[in-house]
Amino acid sequence: MRITPGRTIRTGAAALALITLSACGGGGTGKADSHGPFRVLAVLPLSGALAEQAKLQMSGLQAAADDLNGRGGIGGRKIEIASVDDKLNPTEAVSRLQSRLNGSERPDYVLAGATSNETLAMLPALTNARVLSGTTASDRSMDDPKKYPYHFGYQSANDQNYASAVRFMKTRGVRTLAFIASNDALGTYNRSAIENAVKGTGIKLVAQSYDSKATDLTAPLDALRSARPDLLLASGYGPAVGYILDARQKLNWSVPVIGDSGFAGSNPASLVDSSALKDVLIQTFKVAALSERGSWQPATERMVKAVAAKGPVKQIITLAAEPYDALQVLGVAAEQAGGTDPADLKKAMESLKRPSPVPWTTYAAYAYSTKAHFPVVNDSDFSYLPASVLVQGQFEASS
Near other proteins by CB under 8 A, which window of 189-197, 255-263, 267-275, 356-364? 267-275
> What is the CB-side half-sphere exposure of residue 28 using CA atoms within 13 A?
24
Residue closer to other proteins by CB (options 247, 281) is: 247
| Residue 343 touches other proteins, criterion: CB under 8 A | no
Q: Does 301 bind other proteins (CB under 8 A)?
A: no
* Contact criterion met (CB below 8 Å) for 175 and 230: yes
Binding mask 138-177 for other proteins (x = CB under 8 A): ----------------------------------------
Cα–Cα dist 43/36, whole Å: 21
How many distinct helices (H) and strands (E) make up the chain?
12, 13
Strands 257-259 and 79-85: unpaired
395 forms beta bridges with: 289, 390
**Closer Cβ to other proteins, 50 or 299, answer by number:** 50
- Span near other proteins by CB under 8 A; candidates 64-72, 158-166, 246-254, 369-377: 246-254
**DSSP conformational letter for 32:** -
Give dist(CA 74, CA 245) in Å, integer.
Answer: 45
Q: Which stretch binds other proteins (CB under 8 A): 45-53, 75-83, 130-138, 296-304?
A: 45-53
β partners of residue 133: 110, 151
Q: Is 367 exposed, middle or buried (0-12, 13-18, 19+ CB in 10 A)?
A: middle
336 binds other proteins, rule: CB under 8 A: no
Asked whether position 218 contacts other proteins by CB under 8 A, the answer is yes
> Rounded distance, CA 380 to CA 364, Å?
8
Asked if 392 touches other proteins (CB under 8 A), the answer is no
Provide the minimum distance between the beta carbon of 23 and other proteins in the complex, in angstroms, as a whole number. 21
The interface region with other proteins, picked from 49-57, 115-123, 141-149, 354-362 by CB under 8 A, is: 49-57
SS3 category, 15: helix
3-state secondary structure of 359: coil
3-state class of 154 per DSSP? coil
Q: Is 2 in the site for other proteins (CB under 8 A)?
A: yes
The reply on whether position 272 binds other proteins by CB under 8 A is yes
Residue 50 binds to other proteins (criterion: CB under 8 A): yes
Binding site for other proteins (CB under 8 A): 1-6, 8-9, 11-16, 18, 48-52, 183, 208-211, 213-216, 218-220, 222-223, 238-239, 242, 247, 249-252, 266-267, 270-273, 275, 314
